[in-house]
Amino acid sequence: MHLLIIIDDGGWRKLDKFIENFSHSDNPFTSVLIANRGEIACRIIRACRELGLSSVAVYAENDATSLFVEMADSAILLPGEQLAETYLNAEAIIAAAHASGAGAIHPGFGFLSERADFAQAVTSAGLVWVGPSPHAITSMGDKMTARIAMRAAGVPVIPGEEIEETDEQASFLAIQAASEIVGYPLLLKASAGGGGKGMRAVEHPDGLLEAAKGARREAITAFGDGRVYVERLLTGSRHIEIQVLADRHGNTIHLGERECSIQRRHQKVLEESPSSAVDAELREYMGKAAVAAAEAVDYEGAGTVEFLLSQSGEFFFLEMNTRIQVEHPITELVTGTDLVQQQLLIAAGNPISQSIMQRIPSGKTGLRMQGHAIEVRVYAENPATGFLPAIGPLQVFIAPEGPGVRLDTGVRQGDNITPNYDPMIAKLVVHAPDRDSAIRRMRVALHDFVILGCTTNINFLSDLLSHHEFVAGNTPTNFIDLHWAEGWSEELGEKGNLFFSAVSGVAESVGIHRKYRGSSDIGDGLAGGSIERGDPFNPFLSINRRLP
């Protein structure tokens, strides 16, 4: 609370006391370094502030003006152009923690969050790792090992074949052989995978080799590990995941399910909790399986056990994500918890908060859920071209507000969406008493969300929220391919096309572009500093693509 130095009156002192003081001498850390960027970095900074912890951001040069850097109590530049030199640079991040006096590292999701060697290095450096043990990350991080471990723990897994070969040619031969056992359609999955990268659905033997090559290459780029295994593709199934929390005092609980079936290119687009396909009985079964999975690896902190729920009601273990999930807010809303704060408290050695444990009905392992929450991921992408990523300036960015509406984002008006990082702009989350009212609340929120200057999927999301099959709760994982088999397009009609053309003519005539230029002057600050020269209207000129 550095403001105390300046405003040292009673009011601020009271506020300081009110904040449940984390910085008692018996707490192992008072400052947290966030080894991430964007939206999740902002989310973690907020949790730190509410717990009275100070936050340290690390950032690459092209993030110098990003919101999370501004929000953090302090920020340290990670020099270099490649991700390997910045957000994936374990050594530099640990050095930054030491330099800033941070006592703990929160990895967020993506980047180094599921790297056991990083978790180990953090602990070895005398810092607190906000996450599960390296052993738990290793067991669950490798999808093949996880399958084997889960089978041993009695958790059902998807029929499939593990492929141990690492040599390119040998692995293709093994995949070929496995495909004959598993049958078509099948799914190729990167063993080190996640986030839909290194994953390919194969409908027919003819497409196998090309798919295997693509999956392997994407896996090597994204994870540095090209191993790919084969699973049966369960069509018509739903993606249901269970949130778990575990502390080192013997408590492992679940916080109900999230349904994340609505996906495109194996990346989630919409998540909701509870699922319309899960009743109290199934929730308890899946919850128990998730708790068993977590206990099997002595899990600590927040984690997610993903399942596929078949049409017949059988469920199969998919994988366990040993980190906070993108879609964690919907669970927070229906369970009245703050998962990121729980992560920090648990990492400091505390048990799961009493306020949570007290709300578990006796004889159950999970928290009671209240109301219905939906999250949509607002991506910079063009749904009309098969969801190709888009880039551009956020010249106007007006977020919806209102009761039960939450926006988690790492950008603000005037920022620029670049090809340097993930194209997710924001997560829009609503909470309402039941599913129907949550759908209505989300429709209104999407209607009011104004993003101009960069193509987004908001128009598509509005159509999705109005689709009668979605409203009816019929949401298999192939929902988008099924209902937009020919792809999605904007249907305006002649009148609509003329209307929007006329409006732009009027806007030109009124001179809105001269009067109003967004929060930053377009001439010299379009990208908040990331455009150095050249045509100010062309955001692509000086951007270099950087990959690990």
Chain residues in the site for other proteins (CB under 8 A): 197, 214, 217-218, 221-222, 265, 385, 388-389, 391-393, 395-396, 398, 419, 422-423, 446-448, 450-453, 455-456, 458-459, 462, 490, 492, 495-513, 515-516, 518, 537-538, 540, 543, 545, 547
Angle between helices 116-124 and 90-100 (to 10 degrees): 30
Do the beta carbons of residue 397 and residue 450 sit within 8 Å?
yes
| Alpha-carbon span 515 to 258, nearest angstrom | 45
Q: Looking at beta carbons only, is 197 or 412 nearer to other proteins?
A: 197
Q: Looking at beta carbons only, is 54 or 409 nearer to other proteins?
A: 409
Q: Looking at beta carbons only, is 366 or 518 nearer to other proteins?
A: 518
Q: Which two tokens stand for residue 186?
A: 């099948």
Reference 159, options 230, 83, 64; nearest CA is 230
Is 323 assigned a catalytic role? yes
Number of CB atoms found within 10 A of residue 225's CB: 16
Q: Looking at beta carbons only, is 127 or 465 nearer to other proteins?
A: 465
Taken in order 28, 30, 33, 39, the sign of the CA dihedral is positive
Q: Which two tokens stand for residue 515?
A: 């009067």
Nearest approach, Cβ of residue 320 and other proteins (Å): 23
Q: Looking at beta carbons only, is 159 or 389 nearer to other proteins?
A: 389
Do the beta carbons of residue 260 and residue 361 sit within 8 Å?
no
Nearest approach, Cβ of residue 384 and other proteins (Å): 10
Nearest approach, Cβ of residue 66 and other proteins (Å): 17
Number of CB atoms found within 10 A of residue 506's CB: 10
Nearest approach, Cβ of residue 324 and other proteins (Å): 20
Do the beta carbons of residue 107 and residue 118 sit within 8 Å?
yes
Q: Looking at beta carbons only, is 246 or 458 nearer to other proteins?
A: 458
Nearest approach, Cβ of residue 461 and other proteins (Å): 10
Kind and range of the H or E element at 245?
strand 238-246
Reference 229, options 114, 317, 143; nearest CA is 143
The angle formed by the CA atoms of residues 539, 541 and 542, to the nearest 5 degrees, is 100
| Alpha-carbon span 107 to 409, nearest angstrom | 17
Non-local (6+) Cβ contacts of 274 within 8 A are 256, 257, 259, 283, 334, 369, 372
Nearest approach, Cβ of residue 267 and other proteins (Å): 9
Catalytic residue (one of 323, 377, 435, 441): 323
| Alpha-carbon span 400 to 402, nearest angstrom | 7
Nearest approach, Cβ of residue 497 and other proteins (Å): 4
| Alpha-carbon span 505 to 496, nearest angstrom | 14
Pairing of β 267-273 and β 372-379: antiparallel
DSSP, residue by residue, 412-467? -TT-EE-TTS--EEEEEEEEESSHHHHHHHHHHHHHH-EEESS--SHHHHHHHHH-
Q: Looking at beta carbons only, is 181 or 388 nearer to other proteins?
A: 388
Q: Looking at beta carbons only, is 153 or 391 nearer to other proteins?
A: 391
Nearest approach, Cβ of residue 241 and other proteins (Å): 22
* Cis peptide leading into residue 185 (ω within 30°): yes
No. of helices (H) and no. of strands (E), the chain: 21, 23
Q: Looking at beta carbons only, is 73 or 422 nearer to other proteins?
A: 422
Nearest approach, Cβ of residue 528 and other proteins (Å): 15
What type of residue sits at position 462? S
Active-site residues, by number, are 323
